[in-house]
Chain A
Amino acid sequence: MSSISVPGAVPVPESRKERENYLNIQHTVASWLLTLDHKRIAILYLLGITFMFAIGGAAAAGIRIALVRPHDTFFSNEVYNKLFSIHGIVMVFFFLVPSIPAVFGNFALPLMIGARDVAFPRLNLLSWYLYMTGSFLMLLAIIFGGVDTGWTFYTPYSSVYSDTNVSLVIFGVFIAGFSSIATGVNFLVTIHKMRAPGMTWFRMPLFVWAMYATSIIMILGTPVVAITLFLVAMERIFGFCVFNPVCGGDPLLFEHLFWFYSHPAVYIMILPSMGVVSEVIACFSRKRIFGYEFVGFSSLAIALLGFLVWGHHMFVTGESMYSGMVFSLISFLIAVPSAIKVFNWSATLYKGNVWLSAPMIYALGFIGLFTIGGLTGLYLASLAVDVHLNMTYFVVAHFHYVMVGGAIFGFMAALHFWWPKMTGRLYPESWAKLAALIMFIGFNLTFFPQFILGYLGMPRRYHYYLPEYQAWNILSSAGASVLAVGYIIPFCYLLWSLFKGAPAGNNPWGAVGLEWTLPSPPPSHNYDEVPIVTWEAYDYEPVIQAELAGAAVSHPLMTTEEPYIKETE
């Protein structure tokens, strides 16, 4: 493997290697653990969520191993129930919710709007400590024997009957929730108050719109789930009466309160990825996103409508059929802004100048897989069909298509897109494309059979199943092993690139955006002088015209001293 992955690139001058940046400015542990630099906090988050992802992934491996056989499996019922609970809780609360906002929101958002940091750097550091504390409590709970309530903590099972470490997990999630709230507050104020002069709302990158919408959901929804889980803990620890029907409580009240957050939570998980996809598609089509205003507003629409559909998780609880109809109707409507985005991204490619880099492959994968995932959501929004499909593997397949095929592909796109900026290194492009392909294939092999299993009627959270479902389960587990390979490969080459990767310049992608005007890695204080923005977002016209004419690119955002690395594959 050659150290320079892009042939024809101009070698980076020696002087650049000693330039001071946010990574090498101080090396002590204290300088990391007490940092106020949003970029370092982003890296700290990246380490945390990667570790938690590994934990959640290990639990997933356990699940898929267990499901190879319809009975007499490797694990007991108790262990299996803990595996899927831990998988869900860790992946939702400790990986997906923080992932893009805490890593790339923290890293790139201030850079993209021309700010020197977020509005409240100390609050930012506190949010990381809250996240780590919550994660630590979760790990403690796993070590002490795990939890078996499912990530949904339905009462009265969780508050009265389960004899696992429910309260410890609840406190972990509760504290991590405040990390989320702190991040949301920080981003909202940052976006409102710290945009560079000249950067109006409609000149902001769409990733910033996405972070804004995500932050709204974070601050409105998270407190509700926090207090709801707190009530469960009170019932469990002190014997209070809140949801236990024996003393007059209503378990369905728990469901309403829980889903009031947990449905918008899925939009917390997907909107940032959508923002990343906008950035990547624009950059690698060399074209402004088609329908910029529509895409921006659709993020807000999804955030707001997302609070009105929680009842679609409860169609079979016996809730009033009229409320069921209202929730179903709005659930169909919320598909429209997502459709708007998918079509606008596709239209961006039209007459663009497309470069199929690794981030672009992940972004395109996102669009395809999110389309499937989103469309299968309509089955579940559809009342009569949901009666059949609810709580089956169809739901599992649906949300993995949007969470993995969508959110995680978006995360990988962001990781590869901003990796050069964050680390000052280029990763090996061929390996990256290979890994993306493996991930795509493994993912579909794992989860597509689950649509079929769901329609057949195989319930979720089932350790034992009818023997006739075994073939599909084996296929799914085989796919999972391929998917695992797809995750491990990037971990390896990204780590490798930290030591052996080619040095990256300011703008290896030739992207248009404020963050690409800074050196890679950026200096601690970001901008020597706060830029004054006089151009529209995604001003790729000069770039695409130069490329089509075969001329050198000249753009106010691209300094001439910096070699612009052309892709020559």
Chain B
Amino acid sequence: MELPIIPPAASTFANEVDHIFYTLVGLTIFFTTLVFCLLIVFVVRYHRGSKANRANRSFGNLPVELTWSIIPGIIGLVIFAWSARPYAEAYNPPADAQEILVIGKRWMWHLQHADSGIRENNELHIPVGKAIKLTMISQDVIHGFYVPAFRVKRDCLPGYYNTVWFIPTKVGKYPFYCTEYCGTNHSKMGGFVYVMTPADYLQWKENGGNMEVAHRETAAERGYDLFNKYGCANCHASEDGVHGPTLNGLYGSKVVLQNGQTVTVDDNFIRQSIVNPDSVRVAGYPPLMQAYSVGDGPGQLSEEEILELIAYIKSLGGQNLRTLKTTTSSATQPSKGAGGK
């Protein structure tokens, strides 16, 4: 029977986490040994009947108190700072990170590669050495996406996008789990991440991944189709902004809402604009947009479709994205390759 102790470390993040972890292990061993030894030594030495020297018993000592208060405090602060840095870094994905759209639902994971449109269920194929960004949302309850080998975890919330990014460093097959209890089959909701060499990954992508039908559309292209199908183009296609705000160059910019707040247009903002537009209505526009209902029923938008729409809107240019030329006033075709590669 196996007795594993150390999980594989397969991302840049993993190495940093492991360094901090082992330092903490060292500290734990040190302080635990210290306390155990003190207790055992004192109990033995000063056991009733022993001839140890008990003269000058003391009941308090300020310098000693300060020492053993301040030193652990400082150690704690150092560990805190050391650990905060990689944590903060995990909140800032690089602009060229390859985006994977992730939808969690009871009890499986749908993943879509934004750049190639390849869809996977409970599996994720990615190239080694490239930054990967997951944009995640749940269709029902809170889930969590966890890859122990990458030391990466993020909750997958209903109604709100969470993102997480990492750079895998070792080719291999690593389990991933749902890590927020979600009901009956919570412990079966997971799969494997396949980290491949760049060549293998390219070939996998060329073959359409594991999909039998080779859907060659990118997420943005699918989004363009949805943009027209659901009538978004009626108000948002024109550039004059009379009927609805133009979406060209919108992503990443700042807008002023009706209540005076200034917000940045990000994934969550766009999603809110679709499902509850009144709550994020931009100043100057009347309340005319219909809220789209989310779900799998007829006439409803699924979470995946919303993500694809957002991919399309991103492809129309904006902050931190490659700018695109827009020449016509009808709905702009997404440029090939937009959305990050």
Contacts and interface: CB of A to CB of B under 8 A. Distances in A.
A262 to B, nearest CB: 15
Contacts of B232: none
Contact of B57 (A154, A287, A325, A387): A287
Interface stretch (B114-122, B181-189, B234-242): B181-189
B182 to A, nearest CB: 6
Contact of A391 (B6, B55, B76, B146): B146
A94 B274 CA distance: 45
Contact of B48 (A148, A157, A353, A385): A353
Interface residues of B, number: 90
A376 B27 CA distance: 10
Interface string A271-306: 000000000000001011111111000000000000
Interface string A444-470: 000000001001110101111110111
B39 interface: yes
Nearest to B20: A385
B172 interface: no
Interface stretch (B30-38, B194-202, B255-263, B329-337): B30-38
A150 B141 CA distance: 14
Given A391-B180, A455-B21, A471-B1, A349 B175 contact: no
Contact of B276 (A248, A294, A335, A457): A248
Contacts of B59: 287-292
Interface stretch (B62-70, B96-104, B214-222, B244-252): B62-70
A364 B48 contact: no
A385 B39 contact: no
A266 interface: no
B77 interface: yes
A343 B34 CA distance: 10
Given A157-B182, A339-B72, A384-B87, A464 B187 contact: yes
B300 to A, nearest CB: 11
A384 B16 contact: yes
Contacts of B187: 77, 459, 461-465
Contacts of A353: 46, 48, 54
A154 B155 CA distance: 12
Contacts of A250: 159
Contacts, number: 277
Nearest to A288: B59
Nearest to B31: A375
Contact of B35 (A248, A342, A355): A342
Interface in B8-65: 13-14, 16-17, 20-21, 24, 27-28, 31-32, 35-36, 38-39, 42-43, 46-48, 52-61, 64-65
Interface in B145-179: 146, 148-149, 151-155, 157-160, 162-163, 175, 177-179
Contacts of B60: 290-294
A161 B143 CA distance: 13
B211 to A, nearest CB: 27
Given A375-B32, A459-B179, A471-B1, A385 B24 contact: yes
Contacts of B288: none
Given A353-B48, A382-B83, A459-B187, A335 B149 contact: no
Tell me which of A376, A388, A547 has the highest count of chain B C-beta atoms within 10 A of its own C-beta.
A388
A332 B179 CA distance: 25
Nearest to A365: B39
A7 B254 CA distance: 83
Interface string A533-569: 0000000000010011000000000000000000100
B46 to A, nearest CB: 5
A376 to B, nearest CB: 7
Contacts of B43: 349, 354, 356, 364
B5 to A, nearest CB: 6
A461 B186 contact: yes
B91 A455 contact: no
A382 B68 contact: no
B183 A161 contact: yes
Main secondary structure of the interface of B (DSSP, over half): mixed
Nearest to B162: A318
A342 to B, nearest CB: 6
A455 B158 contact: no
B39 A333 contact: no
Nearest to A329: B80
A371 B35 contact: yes
B213 interface: no
B4 interface: yes
A520 to B, nearest CB: 23
A412 B223 CA distance: 63
A379 B80 CA distance: 10
B144 interface: yes
Contact of B39 (A81, A150, A349, A468): A349
A261 B217 CA distance: 49
B56 to A, nearest CB: 8
A335 B142 contact: no
B140 interface: yes
A336 B21 contact: no
B7 interface: yes
Nearest to A368: B36
A126 B188 CA distance: 45
B73 to A, nearest CB: 5
B321 interface: no
B157 A251 contact: yes
B186 A456 contact: no
Pick the most buried of A252, A351, A368, A387: most chain B CB atoms within 10 A of its CB: A387
A246 B294 contact: yes
Interface string B293-333: 01000000000000000000000000000000000000000
A351 B46 contact: yes
B90 interface: yes
Contacts of B54: 351-353, 544, 548
17 contacts: A157-B182, A246-B158, A316-B155, A321-B88, A321-B91, A325-B80, A335-B72, A336-B69, A343-B68, A349-B42, A351-B58, A375-B28, A378-B24, A388-B14, A466-B175, A471-B2, A471-B3
- Top 4 nearest A-B pairs (CB, nearest first) are A457-B148, A245-B159, A332-B76, A383-B87
Given A245-B158, A382-B80, 16 more contacts: A81-B181, A157-B183, A162-B183, A248-B279, A291-B59, A317-B155, A332-B76, A354-B43, A383-B86, A387-B87, A387-B151, A391-B144, A456-B148, A459-B187, A463-B186, A548-B54
